[in-house]
Structure formats: structure tokens, C-alpha cells
């Protein structure tokens, strides 16, 4: 799912192309895309783009007259910038936003069709998309601490909760926690002052680093390689690969449709965190350390 760094770079690319331009029309190919009906899609036609903003992981295109087009890419939604009037791809295409200088295509590489489009009017129309989380790149240490301490959750849950932090998801929370040397399942209520300071610095540092990297990758072009799995990432998507800091095989816990990737040496003092499914199966045989796990695998990190 595109998260804060990806969405920021998408918005910057859109600003270069459509800010001040007139949205001629929206062509919708998938009936599952449109999630609002009070304001007809046609209300957006013929209106100039006044601003583009990020709302968590959503992109809100403000049009003159107070009409907003709000898009959530979800897991598999992506944008493409094409020549004006470009056709919507038959298999993956969801919609096209036509401007005189080009067409913005919305695609989704998933049969579940989770991406969404809302057309709303005025500030009240935007209220349902305001989740209340603080902006992590703007947060002072004190506002960061206050957000963390509102409720007692695991760090992984708190970082990815849009009511607490805006725009952070599964991938970058893994990278942040690795940079902060903290377990994904440590409770926020048990954090020491130094750990909060490390987490605050890591959150700002990791997100800023990836914005710079993605900007450099896109250059003057339109972002094309938007993915949650990148070769330069330290732990996310790196199950059983060596930690770039210590060489320990990265471990993974899968739950629902999410996962936590972490380094036992750097983050949990060498202790393996129990995977719910496997630990129920193995019970007392669940390995407690990386060494025990590798012994059971015959010393291989590739199988």
C-alpha cells in the first residue's frame, strides 16, 4: 500500500502536471470504485485544480468551487500519467482523469477492487477522511510522546493507527522500528524516555530518507515503481535475509493481511517473537532464540 513517502512523491508529481489545470472529465470503468453518491461525479467536470493535499494515505484533489476528488489507492491502486485522452486499460483500469495536457489513469492490480473514489463538497465533505493522527514529520518530541501515550498498544499497532499517526503503514513501520532498535510488540505504556526519543528520531529520519530516495528515483518523470518492497529496505520484505546491521536472519510474523518483519538481535535481544499460527502448532517446541531456530533448519537461512 502506498504510504506517506509514496503519497508525498505522487502529489509532487501531480502538482507539476495538473495544478491550475482544468479537470475536463472523469471516466469511470469500474462500478466498484465510486463510493460517494450525494455529489455527482459530473460536479467535478470543468473545474480548475486549486490544490492537492495528502490526508493520511489518501490524495485529495481540491477543485475550484469547493469540490474535492478524494482517492484512496489501498494496497494495489496506482497512478499513471499518459497522453491526453489515453484509453483506460481493460484489465487493470479503474478510471481516467482527463486534462488538456494529459490523462491521469488509476489502475489496480488486484481482483478485490479496494481502491476508492469519493467526490464531495466543502470542508464538511472532507471530515470523514480526517482520522485525527498527527503528522509524523511535523511532530515535536512532546507531541509525538503525547500521541504514543494516549492508549497502550504495541508499537507496530500505534505506528500504523491513522488515529495516532498519519500516513504510516506496514512497510515503513517495520523500517522505523528497526532503525529505533525496538520490538514491534513492545507496549507503548512501557517505553522509557530514551526509547521514545529514539523512536521519534527514527520515525522522522526514515520517512524523510525515503521521500528523498523516491524523489531521486522519479526525477522529472512520473513515479512508476511504487511498491512496498524495495531492495534498500532493511527488514520489510526481507524474511530470512541478513540484517544489514548485524547479519542475523530477519524474522517475520504474519497476521491477517499484515506482517511484522524484525531483526531479533537488533530489536528483541535475540529473542524470537512467537508467530501465532506456528506457536499454536509447535507449543512447547517453539524456538526461543535465533540459534535454536537455525538448528532446526539445519543452519540454512534460505529454505
pLDDT at res. 112: 86
Do residues 94 and 110 touch, judged by C-beta distance below 8 A? no
Give, in order, the Cα–Cα distances in Å from 131 to each of 28, 128, 279: 27, 7, 35
Helix, strand, coil % in the chain, rounded to nearest 5:
35, 25, 45
pLDDT at res. 184: 95
DSSP of 102-150: EEEEEEES-TT---EEEEEEHHHHHGGG----B-TTT--HHHHHHHHTT
Q: How far apart are CA 6 and CA 210, in angstroms?
A: 8
Do residues 271 and 278 touch, judged by C-beta distance below 8 A? no
Do residues 131 and 162 touch, judged by C-beta distance below 8 A? yes
The band of 152, judged by pLDDT with boundaries at 50, 70 and 90, is: very high
pLDDT tens across 249-287, in order? 999 998 767 789 999 999 999 999 876 554 443 344 444
Do residues 154 and 185 touch, judged by C-beta distance below 8 A? yes
Query: What residues are paired with 49 via a beta bridge?
Result: 63
Helix residue ranges, H only, the chain? 4-18, 122-126, 141-148, 155-160, 170-180, 193-218, 264-267, 276-282, 290-296
Do residues 118 and 35 touch, judged by C-beta distance below 8 A? yes
Instruction: Kindly report whether the global pTM for this prediction surpasses the value 0.85.
Output: yes
Q: How far apart are CA 32 and CA 3, in angstroms?
A: 22
**Residue-range domains of the chain with CATH:** 4-129 (3.20.190.10), 141-218 (1.10.8.50)
Do residues 98 and 24 touch, judged by C-beta distance below 8 A? yes
275 against 206, higher pLDDT: 206
pLDDT at res. 219: 96
Q: How far apart are CA 8 and CA 167, in angstroms?
A: 10
Question: CA 136, 262, 112 angle in degrees (round to 5)?
Answer: 75
Do residues 142 and 200 touch, judged by C-beta distance below 8 A? no
Summarize the confidence of residues 90-115 as an average pLDDT.
95
Set of cell numbers at residue 101: 495536457
* Helices first, then strands: H and E counts in the chain: 9, 11
Q: Round the average pLDDT of the chain to a whole number and report it.
A: 91
DSSP, res 58: E
Set of cell numbers at residue 198: 529514539
Which residues 6+ apart lie within 8 Å of 198 measured at CB?
A: 180, 181, 182
pLDDT at res. 10: 98
Query: What residues are paired with 149 via a beta bridge?
Result: none
Amino acid at each position: 500500500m502506498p504510504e506517506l513517502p509514496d503519497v508525498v512523491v505522487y502529489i509532487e508529481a501531480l502538482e507539476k502536471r495538473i495544478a491550475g489545470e482544468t479537470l475536463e472529465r472523469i471516466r469511470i470503468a469500474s462500478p466498484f470504485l465510486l463510493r460517494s453518491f450525494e455529489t455527482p461525479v459530473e460536479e467535478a467536470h470543468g473545474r480548475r485544480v486549486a490544490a492537492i493535499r495528502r490526508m493520511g494515505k489518501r490524495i485529495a484533489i481540491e477543485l475550484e468551487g469547493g469540490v474535492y476528488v478524494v482517492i484512496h489507492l489501498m494496497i494495489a491502486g496506482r497512478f499513471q500519467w499518459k497522453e491526453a485522452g489515453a484509453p483506460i486499460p481493460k484489465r487493470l483500469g479503474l478510471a481516467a482523469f482527463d486534462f488538456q495536457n494529459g490523462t491521469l489513469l488509476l489502475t489496480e492490480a488486484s481482483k478485490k477492487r479496494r481502491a476508492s473514489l469519493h467526490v464531495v463538497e466543502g470542508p464538511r465533505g472532507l471530515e470523514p477522511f480526517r482520522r485525527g493522527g498527527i503528522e509524523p514529520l511535523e511532530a515535536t518530541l512532546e507531541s509525538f510522546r503525547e500521541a504514543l501515550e494516549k492508549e497502550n498498544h504495541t508499537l507496530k499497532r500505534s505506528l500504523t493507527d491513522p488515529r495516532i499517526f498519519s500516513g504510516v503503514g506496514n512497510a515503513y513501520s517495520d523500517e522505523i522500528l528497526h532503525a529505533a532498535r525496538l520490538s514491534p510488540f513492545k507496549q507503548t505504556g512501557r517505553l522509557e524516555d530514551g526509547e521514545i526519543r529514539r523512536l521519534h528520531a527514527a520515525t522522522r529520519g526514515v520517512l524523510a530518507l525515503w521521500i528523498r530516495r523516491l524523489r531521486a528515483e522519479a526525477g522529472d518523470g512520473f513515479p512508476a515503481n511504487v511498491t512496498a518492497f524495495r531492495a534498500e529496505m532493511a527488514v520489510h520484505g526481507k524474511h530470512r535475509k541478513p540484517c544489514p546491521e548485524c547479519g542475523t536472519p530477519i524474522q517475520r510474523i504474519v497476521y491477517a493481511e499484515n506482517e511484522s518483519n524484525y531483526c531479533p538481535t537488533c530489536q528483541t535481544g535475540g529473542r524470537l517473537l512467537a508467530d501465532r499460527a506456528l506457536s499454536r502448532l509447535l507449543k512447547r517446541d517453539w524456538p526461543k532464540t535465533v540459534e535454536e531456530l537455525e538448528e532446526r533448519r539445519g543452519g540454512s537461512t534460505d529454505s
